[in-house]
Amino acid sequence: MKVAIASDHGAVELRKEVMKVMDELGIEYEDFGCDGSCSVDYPDYAIPVAEKVANGEFDRGILLCGTGIGMSIAANKVSGIRCALVHDLFSAKATREHNDSNILAMGGRIMGPGLGAEIARVWLTTEFEGGRHERRVGKITDYEKKSLS
């Protein structure tokens, strides 16, 4: 698995913790996040990462900002992206098993780095169940294709 990760200024510390988890799991990743605490615009990070996932350059993405809300909204504008905003372990697992989410969004001002790291671990190690969920995700994909034509 290859993961693209980025954060704005609101989640630099959380990004560092999530990268440690990927190092521990032996997951290949590339960091597209901002370097410091100076204010930046989250779409400048969310959209390029989402495009890289959508075009198959990366298998999944992780986007982090103050709340995770802005990153998730921006990422979900890119065709083919199913970005899930997650703040708990159950949702991290469910969004992979049931929704085949390909981008995880979290908020560095919403949770501590320990919880964020555990959420990332669960999300990264959970597989899509398929089955009835495949049909449901397919309906989203079909609608997306139809709306683009």
pLDDT tens digits for 8-50? 999 999 999 999 999 999 999 999 998 877 899 999 999 999 9
Q: Of the listed 9, 34, 38, 98, which one is catalytic?
A: 98
| Sign of torsion over alpha carbons 1, 7, 100, 21 | positive
Provide the β-strand partners of residue 31: 5
Q: Of the listed 65, 83, 87, 133, which one is catalytic?
A: 65
pLDDT the model gives residue 36: 79
pLDDT the model gives residue 81: 98
pLDDT the model gives residue 37: 73
**118-136: burial string, b at 16+ Cβ within 10 Å, e else:** bbbbbbbeeebeeeeeeee
Task: Tell me how far apart the alpha carbons of residues 23 and 82 are, in angstroms, rounded to a whole number.
Answer: 24
Is residue 65 annotated as part of the catalytic site, yes or no? yes
Question: pLDDT below 70 — which residues of the chain?
Answer: none
Helices marked H in the chain — which ranges? Answer: 12-25, 43-54, 69-75, 89-97, 113-125, 132-148
pLDDT the model gives residue 145: 87
